[in-house]
Chain A
């Protein structure tokens, strides 16, 4: 029993080590040569069994939270019939998760070359669908009488430490990145 447990522990920790070593290598490569294709996991760890194991045990996760660079933030805001709309939650935890969603979109928009070329148009369509869904839910939540609304996606900018030291005012600014105009017909509902 003890030998079995030892073996399991060694395999488990090796899995974690390999996943993280590769993640670090890919980060390093990205820092040297941005947009270089990422090194995939070894074949053994890409088997269905290994993927199930990694998902069920949490061993598949890389630990580079905020590693290399802290993610850029984005904000989704809407406007319908002159009314300002923003996806928000009643709890702080939900707000954190909505920021995560916006950050995921930001990452995809800022680094589109990190997906295989063939998948890029499909992913772009998917992002558009996600944003449209957010717009539709905001429209419904607000009970907006207008059938049209605008949804804007903007990058949130804040002076860097170097800029702050040079005396740049410490205020947030939104750099418009995308504005989409939607028209919801009654049968959309």
Chain B
């Protein structure tokens, strides 16, 4: 059946249109999330010991003291293993996890043992981030979310090495539901991000943008200080709030979608270029493109 999108309701990501969705978005999500997480982990390698070992600025057992233990840290996992009759030195456990996490991400990216690799990557990512909870920031939270979706969604159903030995492409019965799930999550995340900003006065008078751009040691491609006497910071503050709070509506209304997507991607590029939050920005751009751009690409005869 040929679906004429113009005849469908303009608001809301109607599940009825999901038949026309390019399933390549699942592979796009998998490959990019795995790649960004891998690069993020790689970027910590020069200082790995300073963050995770007993040669670090804050020792693992001290970091562990205020952890809520809803999930393991490296220290508590070591204790659990010792309690189970598997005594393991902290450094050995750290080394094992240090190799296992990138391996899982690599397998996930390639689509080999996809589901197992995704679960392994999620658990190890949590293990690492919980172990240094005082050093955690937004990129870690969104990596957890993205890896969770890699566990639940059939991200290995296209462009994956698993398909080569399975010899067939699995049917994608619920991909519309998964896409709606991701879109709804992003809609909620952006709405509340905007709502939290508009509650206080600093995003409404430009001070928040100004302060964020001048945070200690943040990277910036060039200084925007020459704009201090213009309404630039005020406008960017309101633009950010508007883009975030109106995300669900703007992204799901067919005509505004390209412009809204451009705005959101531009906002994250700005965060990357002027605040140095590269991995956070890259991950958010990937999640947005996976939800709203990759599914709209024309379908071709796909190789496995």
Contact = CB atoms under 8 A, between A and B. Distances in A.
B277 interface: yes
Interface string B130-173: 10101111100110110010000000000000000000000001
Majority DSSP secondary structure for residues of B touching A? helix
B214 to A, nearest CB: 5
Interface residues on A, range: 35 or more
Given A70-B215, A99-B215, A160 B207 contact: yes
Interface stretch (B1-9, B39-47, B84-92): B39-47
Nearest to B280: A65
Interface in B186-242: 188-190, 192-193, 195-197, 199-200, 202, 205-208, 210-212, 214-219, 225, 228-229, 233
B65 interface: yes
Contact of B47 (A20, A66, A94): A94
Interface string A1-39: 110011001001100110011011001100100000000
A13 B185 contact: yes
B137 A96 contact: yes
A161 B185 CA distance: 34
Contacts of B173: 1-2
Interface stretch (B28-36, B54-62, B289-297): B54-62
A5 B174 contact: yes
Majority DSSP secondary structure for residues of A touching B? helix
Contacts of B277: 96
A98 B57 contact: yes
Given A24-B195, A130-B58, A63 B177 contact: no
A73 B184 CA distance: 33
A21 B195 CA distance: 9
Given A70-B215, A130-B134, A164-B228, A93 B196 contact: no
B46 A91 contact: yes
A81 B135 CA distance: 29
Contact of B202 (A57, A69, A75): A69
A99 B216 contact: yes
Interface residues of B, number: 72
Nearest to B186: A63
Contacts of A20: 188-189, 192
B57 A23 contact: no
Contacts of B202: 68-70
A70 B207 CA distance: 9
Interface string B115-134: 00000001000100010101
A180 interface: no
Interface of B: 40, 43-47, 50-51, 55-59, 62, 65-66, 68, 70-71, 122, 126, 130, 132, 134-138, 141-142, 144-145, 148, 173-174, 177, 180-181, 184-185, 188-190, 192-193, 195-197, 199-200, 202, 205-208, 210-212, 214-219, 225, 228-229, 233, 276-279
30 contacts: A5-B174, A9-B177, A9-B184, A13-B185, A20-B188, A27-B196, A27-B200, A54-B70, A55-B70, A58-B142, A62-B192, A63-B188, A63-B189, A63-B190, A63-B192, A64-B196, A65-B138, A67-B196, A68-B196, A70-B202, A70-B208, A89-B50, A91-B44, A93-B44, A94-B46, A123-B66, A156-B216, A160-B207, A160-B211, A165-B229
